[in-house]
């Protein structure tokens, strides 16, 4: 079995991964309700888990994080991409938005009532002002405008990532919010 898991793969099935989703119609490698625990894998089965735009659709993201912690081998990497709260509810099925405080819940030094019981070290965090260039043609954006927006995105995202906490707290409202916040965690 591959040592990489693609959680909530949807139509983005990846070669060399176990592709996991609840929707049988998409023909993932493993069909499982992502709100039902435990997932059908043994402890420490994976070295890499990717969950791109899945957590925001699920009922209890902290329980999902706990389950992914169980599935990762020690030192394994969890790569999560989710909507930033400032744009998180633009999709009708989003249950949650996320911000820079999300990693704190996996650090026992955070607080007695905030720690969620599993240890992840945050390797990196990144805000993206625009994240869905592949969808823009379907929304009527032409190729020239998309190129211009890619350039603007590089500038806005670059400045925001100088201080993600400041950008998340204040600056995001000046630029209309951020499409995505990305976290890379290490299981400790």
pLDDT in tens, 96-121: 889 999 999 998 888 777 787 889 99
How much is the mean pLDDT over the chain?
92
Cα distances from 188 to residues 4, 25, 78, in angstroms, run 18, 36, 11
From the list 74, 72, 83, 169, the residue with the least C-alpha distance to 129 is 83
Q: What is the DSSP letter of 75?
A: E
Q: What is the pTM of this model?
A: 0.90
pLDDT in tens, 34-90: 999 999 999 999 999 999 999 998 899 999 999 999 999 999 999 999 998 887 677
The CATH class, in words, for 4-187 is alpha beta
Report the C-alpha gap between 136 and 128 in whole angstroms. 15
Domain ranges, ordered by start, for the chain: 4-187
**Could you check whether the bond before residue 56 is cis, i.e. omega within 30 degrees of 0?**
no
Contacts of 81 (CB under 8 A, 6+ apart): 51, 52, 53, 131, 180, 181, 182, 183
pLDDT in tens, 2-44: 799 999 999 999 999 999 999 999 999 999 999 999 999 999 9
């Amino acid at each position: 079995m591959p040592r990489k898991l693609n959680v909530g793969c949807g139509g983005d099935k990846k070669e060399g991964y176990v592709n996991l989703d609840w929707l049988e119609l998409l023909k993932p490698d493993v069909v499982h309700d992502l709100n039902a625990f435990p997932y059908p894998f043994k402890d420490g089965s994976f070295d890499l888990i990717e969950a791109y735009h899945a957590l925001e659709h699920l009922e209890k993201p902290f329980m999902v994080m706990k389950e992914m912690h169980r599935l990762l081998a020690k030192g394994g990497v969890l790569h999560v991409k989710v909507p930033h709260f400032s744009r998180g509810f633009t999709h009708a099925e989003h249950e949650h938005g996320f911000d820079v405080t999300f990693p704190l819940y996996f650090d026992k030094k955070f607080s007695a009532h905030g720690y969620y019981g599993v240890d992840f070290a945050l390797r990196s965090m990144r805000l993206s002002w625009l994240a869905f260039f592949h969808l823009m043609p379907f929304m009527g954006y032409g190729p020239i405008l998309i190129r211009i927006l890619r350039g603007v995105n590089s500038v806005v995202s670059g400045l925001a990532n100088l201080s993600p906490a400041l950008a998340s707290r204040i600056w995001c409202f000046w630029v209309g919010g951020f499409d995505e916040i990305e976290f890379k965690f290490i299981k400790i």
